[in-house]
Amino acid sequence: MGMMDMDKMEMAGMMGGMGGKGGSSISMSSSLPGFPGASHLYHIGATGFFLDHPQHIALSTEQQSALNQIKEQSALDKASTSRSVQEAEQALWTLTAAGQPDNSQIEAKVAEIEKLKSDARLRFISAVGSAAKILNDEQRKILTGFAPPVSAAPAAAPAAAPMAGGMKDM
């Protein structure tokens, strides 16, 4: 499996259970943006924040920049969370390696680890929602199948059939 496939799987997995850190600048608002008629838009954006659909939608330079910024912030958040989870897992390992493990400390550490992961998951979903807001209505319709994709290049006109005698008759 190639690196691109792994990245897409990892991004898609974030919708289902990626780890993350609580102190990121991606904030979870009280409600997520909704897009009536585009119920699976969050799932489409989870693999690459809509940047992986150039064959379907034409993004403006401003949209590409904004989406890249959200994607980069999400990647930084993921890396930070991964470090925090690893540190907490190491502390948990130490707690469980004690001659007389303290159950309350172990429970608190497990809760801390799961809180890091669930907070990151919610921040990721919020980031995908923010990315979806950057798209216009037509782009969202294209991605959800309610409008035809934007052609990357105009279709070439079919070549005219040569006349019976060709150019030598001229």
Average pLDDT of span 10-33: 50
- For 118, the token pair is 């669930």
Of 13, 23, 38, give the one whose Cα is nearest residue 133: 38
pLDDT in tens, 40-52: 899 999 999 999 9
Instruction: Say yes or no to pLDDT of 163 above 70.
Output: no
Instruction: Say yes or no to pLDDT of 167 above 50.
Output: no
The radius of gyration computed from the CA coordinates of the chain, to the nearest angstrom, equals 24
SS3 content of the chain, % helix, strand, coil (to 5): 60, 0, 40
Instruction: Say yes or no to pLDDT of 15 above 60.
Output: no
Average pLDDT of span 111-136: 96
Long-range Cβ contact pairs of 38-42 (< 8 A, separation 24 or more): 38/140, 38/141, 38/143, 38/144, 38/146, 39/144, 40/144, 41/132, 41/140, 41/143, 41/144, 42/15, 42/125, 42/128, 42/129, 42/132
Instruction: Say yes or no to pLDDT of 58 above 60.
Output: yes
Tell me how far CA of residue 143 lies from CA of 39, 103, 119, in angstroms: 11, 49, 28
pLDDT at 30: 61
Name the amino acid, one letter, at 33.
P
Average pLDDT of span 94-109: 97
**Residue 93: pLDDT band with limits 50, 70, 90:** very high
Report domain extents, the chain: 37-147
Instruction: Say yes or no to pLDDT of 110 above 80.
Output: yes
Instruction: Say yes or no to pLDDT of 19 above 60.
Output: no
